[in-house]
Structure 1
Amino acid sequence: MNSDQVLKTIQNENIAFIDFWFVDIFGELHNVGIPSYAIDKDSFVNGLEKLDASSIVGFKAVNHSDMILMPDPTSFKILPNDYDPGNRKNARIFCDLYDGSVNKESRYNRDSRGIAHKASEKLTELGITHTNWGPEIEFFVFDTINVYPSPYAATHSYGGSGYSIESKESPWAKGNVSTAIDLKEGYYPSQPKDTLEGFRKDVCDDLYNYFGIKIEAEHHEVATSGQCEINLVYDEMIAMADNVIAVKNLIKVKAKRKNKVATFMPKPIFGDNASAMHTHQSLWKENTNVMYDQDDKVAQMSQIGRYYIGGILSHASALCAITNPTTNSYKRLVPGFEAPVNVCWGLGNRSAAIRVPMYSRNQEKSKRMEYRVPDPTANIYLLEAALLLAGLDGIKNKIDPGDPVEENVYKLSTEKKREYHIGSLPVSLKGSLDSLASDSKFLEDVFTRDFLDQYSDLKYKEYTAFAQTPTAWEVSMYADA
């Protein structure tokens, strides 16, 4: 849609409020609602003077806080009924952020959506017209999460802290003979064990009917206690990032309406699988998939595609600061739970950081690479931008990834890994931030040094708070020392 079509739709559909959406530097969704009668053509020309940037984490100081929200009419969508218990009809529009006048030079450098836009413009330097992205979004839906006595107990009241998770599917729940799923036994169960099939289908229906987001598949995932996965049909870079924000928010909203809680925290349950966001990527020049090479007998992957893979693998440790941005992320990146911990690529090999799907050959449309490292706490705009820039760096510098690894990487000896030149991912958020500090040149032209410094500073503080907080596990282990 353009702005005129949006204004006409608002009138014809009797839209009461428009929710203007944007995200902070960590991908957290923010919203301001404005009555439809207060929106006019000028709103799309000069933007909305509605943002106090000093109140958004990681944005601006209080003495330079005025910013403009510029609505993107192409992102206009009518919202599902779950968004308003008052039965009003609402719509949403994503906004770009501007610092002062509305022109390309004034685009705010800490606007995640703007960073993704800027990264996508780098494609033209290599004759590539667009990229397609297809994330697999994993998450948990619990009946409740109880944190007691408070999330700050250990540091503020010295009273200790802990948490409990309740789910009809959990093996520790009472009265759940027909719904219990043991640890690591939740892959594709049928009803009645799968208690969330109806919930996922409701989400998928709303995603398609309201947001126009097409779904490849939905299913229960490997973990117990309501681990789910929704796979999105591929789309171009910015459209897909917007879609991921919408999907995550709708899941949370619909779970809340059902008195449940949805979480994209990667590893909430000890001893069980965690949630990932495997991200499929392909490069295109008009209608030609430049990752595809029919004559390549190994992977039917072009040399450009191999260089793209090489770029991502060469920057994998630094990328973790963006693709796996929480302290909890590194409780997922451990051996034994189907998460990648080794930096290599393979064909149909889910033990590698990068997998090139090989279901069938001679399929140009579906030739792609899947990066299996990210988790759903990542800011999708930054994730896409960083992966793209790493891949393009690989193409520019002809970084060859070597031969694909055919073995189960989890079972390779240390000696074999050295022979195959297989590195390891960071084991902590601090490790990934340290890697980013020493390997950020490939990002700086788009992300800017200012953004990377602010992002890293806030994340280092997050890690420090985590590292200094005693946990229930530590107390039980060391109290009698």
Structure 2
Amino acid sequence: MLAQDAIEKLRSKQTRWVQLHFPDLYGVLRSRTVTSSSINTLKFDSGFTFHDLSDTFNEVYEETFSLMPLADTYGTLPWNDATDRFICSIKTSNKERYLKDVTYTVERAEQLFKAELKELPSVKQSINFYMSDGSSIESSDARKSVEIPTKEAPWNHVAIRNQATLSHASEPADSYSGIRQQIADVLTNFFNMSVFSHGHGRANNSQQVMTFDEMPAHMAAHALATLKMAARAVGIVNVAIPTFMALPFANDAPNDYKFSIASFVKGTNVFYDSDDELFLSQKARYFIGGILEHARSLAFFTNPTVNSYKRLAISHKFTSAGKNDKYNAVLIHDATPTDYNFELTFPDPLANPYFALASVLAAGVDGLKKKTEPNILKESPLILSEGQRRRKKVHDLPKTLIEAISELESDNDYLKGVFSTDIVYNYTELKLQEFKDSQSMPSNFDYAAYFHL
């Protein structure tokens, strides 16, 4: 969409306000609101100047920023009367791109990809999240408690449970289908971010799954950030709350964030080869090889929280690729020339989508440049002994956030030209503090296991 087209839509609807969204280091959309009359074509080049955004990016000093509306992210907030939105890129006072602007990372990664493959990357992605009827979380010195009421929970005696399992349930057992469909409609009709499918997840407790149509990598990141915002806003209207935690419940399915990458020339995926037994072109093999070579440091961006590694503790992801086995970090699919033929299985929904996509693209391009062959297994990596995995150079993903940070410190050259040194440093500092805070805070497990000893 061109800037003029967006302005014409905005004027025709008599919109009063425009929210200028910009993702922070966590990938969460922040906002400043301006009057719709202040939007004109010049503002797409000059931007809106603000002086109070520094703390959003963990800056230690005040700086002036310009929010630059991106025309192709124009949308309407149906829960907020007469209000539209644009996601914005950010420039500094000297009109250069702000190096901590997280949208810049995925844009730079796209250009790196295009320099190698002549076309921009396309992404298909799906994400899980849970819905609940609210939450009560108390973590004071005097009281530690978590209560998450949900219509489908086994502890809810009035829950509709007319199926042996709620995995991929239909109505009426699929208690949140109406809310989920509202979210999908909002994304498709109000933000032009088309949802391909949605349904109940494989969990027995209120898990949702949503899959987007293919789109450019930067739009895929915008779509996921917008989904999180829309899910919360639609949830509030329906007295429901989503959670994108990697592992919100100990005895149920974790939440996944899976995505596939392709590049199409005249409708054919450059990663496809009909003569290969796995239908992978040599470029696909090198690209996957780069992802697997850097998977342990990539985990810092794709699995960036303490909770992420509780998911990986039960999901058991390895630095290998293969067919029909979820324990491989990269899952290979049978494909046609127009299909996406491999999928990343290890990211989780708590990832900043801009960082996750940018880092994976950078790793794949590094594999293309170095002609890195992937470790493709015919057997499941889970059934191999540690010695067998070691001989095949198959490794576990990191087991903790601090281990992922350590991996990144020793393996980060492939990120040059995509991530600035400052943005990696600031994000790492935030995550180190998060890890330290988690280590000093007693958990529910601590109380259950040790309180009476």
Q: TM-score, normalised by structure 1?
A: 0.90
SS in 1 for 2:121: strand
Do structure 1's residue 174 and structure 2's residue 154 form an aligned pair?
Answer: no
Do structure 1's residue 355 and structure 2's residue 337 form an aligned pair?
Answer: no
Do structure 1's residue 131 and structure 2's residue 121 form an aligned pair?
Answer: yes
Q: Is residue 142–residue 225 contact of structure 1 (8 Å, CA) maintained in 2?
A: no
Do structure 1's residue 69 and structure 2's residue 64 form an aligned pair?
Answer: no
Q: Aligned partners of 2:51, 2:126: CA distance in 1, in Å?
A: 32
Moved over 6 A (4+): none
Do structure 1's residue 118 and structure 2's residue 108 form an aligned pair?
Answer: yes
2:365 to 392, 401, 407: 392
Identity across matched positions, percent: 25
Partner of 1:408 in structure 2?
Answer: 380
| Residue 188 of structure 1, CA deviation | 1.0
Partner of 2:308 in structure 1?
Answer: 329
1:93 to 86, 101, 119: 86
Q: Is residue 113–residue 362 contact of structure 2 (8 Å, CA) maintained in 1?
A: no
Q: Aligned partners of 2:220, 2:197: CA distance in 1, in Å?
A: 16
Unaligned runs of 5+ in 1: none
Partner of 2:238 in structure 1?
Answer: 258
Q: Aligned partners of 1:410, 1:127: CA distance in 2, in Å?
A: 34
Partner of 2:27 in structure 1?
Answer: 27
Partner of 1:468 in structure 2?
Answer: 440
Q: Is residue 247–residue 311 contact of structure 2 (8 Å, CA) maintained in 1?
A: yes
> Counterparts of 1:208-247 in structure 2 under 5 Å?
208-247=188-227
Q: Is residue 179–residue 238 contact of structure 2 (8 Å, CA) maintained in 1?
A: no
Q: Aligned partners of 2:268, 2:391: CA distance in 1, in Å?
A: 36
Partner of 1:319 in structure 2?
Answer: 298
SS in 2 for 1:207: helix
Partner of 2:409 in structure 1?
Answer: 437
Partner of 2:37 in structure 1?
Answer: 37
Deviations 1:320-375 (A, max 9, x none): 1100111101110023xxx34211100232221100112xx5x1110332000101
Do structure 1's residue 458 and structure 2's residue 434 form an aligned pair?
Answer: no
SS in 2 for 1:344: strand
1:107 to 97, 106, 110: 97
Q: TM-score, normalised by structure 2?
A: 0.95
Partner amino acid, structure 2, of 1:115: T
Q: Is residue 171–residue 181 contact of structure 1 (8 Å, CA) maintained in 2?
A: no
Q: Aligned partners of 1:162, 1:440: CA distance in 2, in Å?
A: 40
Partner of 1:428 in structure 2?
Answer: 400
Q: Is residue 325–residue 378 contact of structure 1 (8 Å, CA) maintained in 2?
A: yes
SS in 1 for 2:416: helix
Tell me how many residue pairs correspond in the alignment. 453
SS in 1 for 2:108: helix
1:143 to 113, 119, 133: 133
Partner of 2:50 in structure 1?
Answer: 50
SS in 1 for 2:136: strand
| Residue 110 of structure 1, CA deviation | 0.6
Q: Aligned partners of 1:229, 1:190: CA distance in 2, in Å?
A: 13
Q: Aligned partners of 1:191, 1:72: CA distance in 2, in Å?
A: 39
Q: Aligned partners of 1:328, 1:195: CA distance in 2, in Å?
A: 26
Q: Indicate how the Cα distance of structure 1 residues 410 and 261 shifts in structure 2: closer, same or farther if over 3 A, else same.
A: same
Q: Is residue 136–residue 279 contact of structure 1 (8 Å, CA) maintained in 2?
A: yes
SS in 2 for 1:365: coil
Deviations 1:253-294 (A, max 9, x none): 111111111111111111211101011111334544210111
Q: Aligned partners of 1:180, 1:438: CA distance in 2, in Å?
A: 52
1:278 to 240, 252, 258: 258
Name the stretch that deviates more: 197-206 or 17-26: 197-206
Partner amino acid, structure 2, of 1:133: V
Q: Aligned partners of 1:394, 1:40: CA distance in 2, in Å?
A: 43
Q: Is residue 126–residue 212 contact of structure 2 (8 Å, CA) maintained in 1?
A: yes
Q: Indicate how the Cα distance of structure 1 residues 392 and 78 shifts in structure 2: closer, same or farther if over 3 A, else same.
A: same
Partner of 1:341 in structure 2?
Answer: 317
Do structure 1's residue 367 and structure 2's residue 340 form an aligned pair?
Answer: yes
Name the stretch that deviates more: 257-266 or 125-134: 125-134
SS in 2 for 1:333: helix
Q: Aligned partners of 1:449, 1:76: CA distance in 2, in Å?
A: 31
Q: Is residue 170–residue 181 contact of structure 1 (8 Å, CA) maintained in 2?
A: no
Q: Aligned partners of 2:100, 2:57: CA distance in 1, in Å?
A: 11
Q: Aligned partners of 1:312, 1:348: CA distance in 2, in Å?
A: 19
| Residue 433 of structure 1, CA deviation | 0.7
- The alignment's C-alpha RMSD in Å is 1.8
SS in 1 for 2:226: helix
Name the stretch that deviates more: 196-205 or 370-379: 196-205
Q: Is residue 244–residue 380 contact of structure 1 (8 Å, CA) maintained in 2?
A: yes
Q: Aligned partners of 2:38, 2:432: CA distance in 1, in Å?
A: 42
SS in 2 for 1:447: coil
Q: Indicate how the Cα distance of structure 1 residues 318 and 215 shifts in structure 2: closer, same or farther if over 3 A, else same.
A: same
Q: Aligned partners of 1:9, 1:92: CA distance in 2, in Å?
A: 12
Q: Aligned partners of 1:69, 1:14: CA distance in 2, in Å?
A: 23
